[in-house]
Amino acid sequence: MRRPAIAFILIFISIVLFFILNLVLGSISIPVGSVWNILLGTKKEPDIWENIIWKSRFPQTLTALIAGSGLSISGLQMQTLFRNPLAGPSELGISSGASLGVAFIILLSGNIAGTALIKMGLFGEIAISVAAIAGSMAVMSIIITISRYVKGNVILLIIGVMIGYIATAIIGVLKFFSNDEDVRAYVIWGLGSFAKVSGNQVYTFVCIMAILIPLSFFLIKTLNLMLLGEGYARNLGLNVGRARLYVIICSCVITAIITAYCGPIVFLGLAVPHLCRTIFVSSDHRILMPAVTLTGASLALFCNLVARMPGFEGALPINSVTALIGAPIVISVLFGKRKNEIG
């Protein structure tokens, strides 16, 4: 038990460190003491610093922390359900469904309304979020319906991937018939960003995820039983069909909400569960669930920090950073497992 305790402490320290650095560093550096004064309201600081913290960096940092946790939990659930190390939050087509919903809003709005909806301020942001949720939920409904008739998890996974391909094909057609400005707006959305959640949106996002993330912990026992295989789980009294449905709904809803607010974020949900299994040397979800929650938050904060490194004007696409960091993690972990198997 000593190693997990030390690992949890170090991960928690990294979260605190990266959270502070996300508030301090950027195109304009703000002293730690000033950030502390702004957060607590103990001392008046320059208005420009207060605006940067409250309107930009704090919402972005909080969004990164929560989104990283949610995507990591979703990835762990998918990998356990399908017993596949390459399964992730997007493999069931949920992210593709969200992208398709947003594509209909962004790519068609320019042709119908004469102006891109994404330029319509708050109304446009709300419309995009609603469209992403609607697209995700539509795909999730299809997956849930299919899961009632398909017993094999592998077949269900393949069907989810095929639904993702269909959504991507439809998006390609929409792009072909859209003007350049709308296509560019959609591509920017598809790069993902923790900075999209601002103002009152961040509090709505936090409240929703504050409900969904704790609820996912109720599936820990179910996930541990599913690790044993469907036969053993059924003999131990688990209703496999119902359990699979609960896991799919939980993972899909979390992914749908995060995609709606932040865009499709890649590799976090895939890489973090592998990283946690390596660090904690355990497959017990009583350890892995809190581990991926904290590690996902830490890694997302680190990626957001890299995307806003001092010296950059604006920010790098978050998907570029998560892919550059997440892909080597997955490759190294898989190579390590293969080496151990050969040994």
Q: What is the DSSP string of 97-157?
A: HHHHHHHHHHHHHHHHHSS-GGGSHHHHHHHHHHHHHHHHHHHHHHHHHHHTT---HHHHH
Q: Reduce the DSSP state of residue 281 to 3 states and report it.
A: coil
Work out the burial of residue 40: count CB atoms within 10 Å of its CB; fewer than 13 is exposed, 13-18 middle, 19 or more buried. Answer: exposed
Mean pLDDT of 16-42: 86
User: What tokens appear for 142 in the block?
Assistant: 């299809």
- CA 218 from centre of chain: 20
Higher pLDDT, 77 or 337: 77
Pick the range with the lowest mean pLDDT from 48-52, 68-72, 314-318: 314-318
Mean pLDDT of 78-106: 79
Mean pLDDT of 175-181: 80
At 84 the pLDDT is 75
Mean pLDDT of 318-340: 76
Please report the DSSP string for 314-326 in residue order: S---HHHHHHHHH
At 217 the pLDDT is 93
Domain extent for 151: 2-342
Q: Is the pLDDT of residue 343 over 60?
A: no
Higher pLDDT, 91 or 201: 201
Number of separate domains in the chain: 1
Q: Reduce the DSSP state of residue 232 to 3 states and report it.
A: helix
Mean pLDDT of 38-47: 81
- CA 311 from centre of chain: 27
Mean pLDDT of 84-106: 78
Q: Is the pLDDT of residue 154 over 70?
A: yes
**Highest-pLDDT range among 12-21, 161-170, 315-324:** 12-21
At 119 the pLDDT is 54
Res. 291 pLDDT band, cuts 50 70 90:
very high
Q: What is the CA radius of gyration of the chain?
A: 21
Work out the burial of residue 307: count CB atoms within 10 Å of its CB; fewer than 13 is exposed, 13-18 middle, 19 or more buried. Answer: buried
At 340 the pLDDT is 57
Tell me the pLDDT of the chain averaged across its residues.
82
Res. 76 pLDDT band, cuts 50 70 90:
very high
Predicted TM-score of the model (pTM): 0.85
Q: Is the pLDDT of residue 110 over 70?
A: no
Q: Is the pLDDT of residue 311 over 60?
A: no
Q: Is the pLDDT of residue 213 over 90?
A: yes
**CATH number reported for the structural domain that contains residue 325 in this entry:** 1.10.3470.10
Res. 15 pLDDT band, cuts 50 70 90:
very high
Q: Is the pLDDT of residue 289 over 80?
A: yes
Long-range pairs, 101-105, Cβ under 8 A, ≥24: 101/131, 101/132, 101/133, 101/134, 101/135, 101/136, 101/138, 102/128, 102/131, 102/132, 102/135, 102/186, 102/189, 103/170, 103/171, 103/174, 103/175, 103/186, 104/131, 104/135, 104/174, 105/131
User: What tokens appear for 21 in the block?
Assistant: 């650095």
Q: Which residues contact 122 (CB under 8 A, 6 or more apart)?
A: 199
At 300 the pLDDT is 93
